[in-house]
Amino acid sequence: MGVSGVSGASYARPSATQSSDTDHLPRPHRGQTQEPATRQDPSPLPAETAGIPVHRHTHPDPEKEESVVSAADLVRYALAAAARGWHVFPLAPGDKVPLKGVSWKGQTTADPQVIRRLWGRRPYNIGIACGPSNLVVIDLDVPKPGEKPPPPWDRPGINEGADVLAALCEEVGQPLPFETFQVRTRRGGMHLYFAAPPGIVLGNTSGDKGNGLGWRIDTRAAGGYVVGPGSVVDLPDGAGTYQVLHNPAPAPLPAWLADRLRPAPPPRPAGPVVVPLRDGRRGAYLDSAVRSCLDRIAAAGEGERNTTLWGASAALGQLVAGGALDEAGTEALLLATAADVGLPAAEARRTIRSGFRRGALRPRKVPA
C-alpha cells in the first residue's frame, strides 16, 4: 500500500527485507541527552538557503489549500535547514510525529549526504531539533473551531496566540519581535525562530497549561522540536503546508522574552499564610472564605496554578467589590500564596487583577 498526499504521488512502503531508511542516521549513545548547541554566528548564510520560497502570510482556506511540495522539495528544504546549522530528522509523511524507529533526541543530523540519501527516497516531513540547532521557537497558534480564550485572556482583541503576544509586547513597551525567520503553520498560525540566548538553557513551555507566555503560545527549545518548513501535514484537526514567510537569519531572542521563559525556581516550602482574624460571625465567614481560596491555590497541581489563582481572585474580588474585604490586603495574601507555589510575581499580579475585575462585575456584600 502506498503513502499518498504529497503532490498526488504515491510512495511504496518498504518491505520487511529492505534496509531501514533510519540506518543512515547516527545512533545515540547510551544515556545520551540532547544539549543546546554552542552559539553560532548566523551570518553569512550559505547560498543554499537563498532558494526557499517565501509566502505572504494569510490564514489558509481549507477549500483552496493545496499541497505544492514535491518529494524533491522536501530534500531541498531539509538541506536548507542543515545549511543554517540546524539539526534535522525525519517525521512520518503527512504527520508531525517522528518516523517510527527514530529516537530523535539522539539521531538528528546536519550532514548533507545523510539528508540526500534519506529524504531522496521518501517524502518524509522534516523535524528540527531546537536544542542542538541553538533555537528557541515561539509557536503562535490559532484556536480550534468554537474555542474561546480562557481567563485572563478573554478580553476584546484577543482571538489567537499572535494577539496574546501583541498584548504582552504592549504591556512591556516592546515592539513585536517579527523581524526574524518566520514559518506559517498548517492551520494558519506562525513559528518565530530565534537564536537561543547564551548562558541560559530554556526548555519547552505550553501557554494553555499556564507555564508559558499565554493562551495559544507554546515554545520549543532544548528538549523540543518543531515541524520544519516544507512539511505537509494532513490530520483531522487541520491540513496544510509549513511555509516560509520571512527568510532572514533567526534574530537573538529578546531579553524580556528570555526572562519570561526562564525556568521558574522550585517552589519554596509552603509556610502558613497569616490571615488577620476578624471578630464576630461576619468576620468568621470572611476568614473562612479567604482561607478556602488560599488553600485551593496551595493545593493546585503544576499547570493548574495560574487558572486556580484567577478563580480565587475572582471569588475574593466579589467581596472586595462589595466592600467586605480590603483590596490591597487581599491582593497581598494572594501574591504571597502565588509566590509559595512558584508563580512569577508579575504574572501572578496580572492574574489577580484580572480576577478582581471579573469579581467586580458581581459584588457581594456580607451583612454585619
What average pLDDT score do residues 100-106 get?
Answer: 84
The SS3 assignment for 29 reads coil
Single out the residue of 193, 128, 184, 136 nearest to residue 160, CA to CA: 184
Q: How far apart are the first and last CA of the chain?
A: 77
Residue 264's pLDDT is 66
Better-scored residue on pLDDT, 96 or 42: 96
Burial class (CB in 10 A: 0-12, 13-18, 19+), 213: buried
Region at 157 (left for phi over 0; alpha for psi -120 to 50; beta for the rest): left
pTM: 0.62
* pLDDT band (50, 70, 90) for residue 20: low
Task: Name which of 182-191, 301-310, 312-321 the model is least confident about.
Answer: 301-310
Residue 178 scores a pLDDT above 80? yes
* Sign of the alpha-carbon dihedral angle for 275, 280, 283, 287: positive
Which residues are 136's β-sheet partners? Answer: 194
Q: Can you say how many angstroms the Cα of residue 167 is from the centroid of all Cα atoms in its chain?
A: 16
Task: Name which of 28-42, 59-73, 190-204 the model is least confident about.
Answer: 28-42
Mean pLDDT of the chain: 80
Show Cβ contacts of residue 51 under 8 Å, excluding neighbours closer than 6 positions. 76, 80
- Quick one: what percent of the chain has pLDDT higher than 90? 46
Cα separation, 97 vs 326, in Å, equals: 52
User: Is the peptide bond prior to 44 cis by the omega test (within 30 degrees of 0)?
Assistant: yes
What average pLDDT score do residues 299-323 get?
Answer: 87
Better-scored residue on pLDDT, 275 or 89: 89
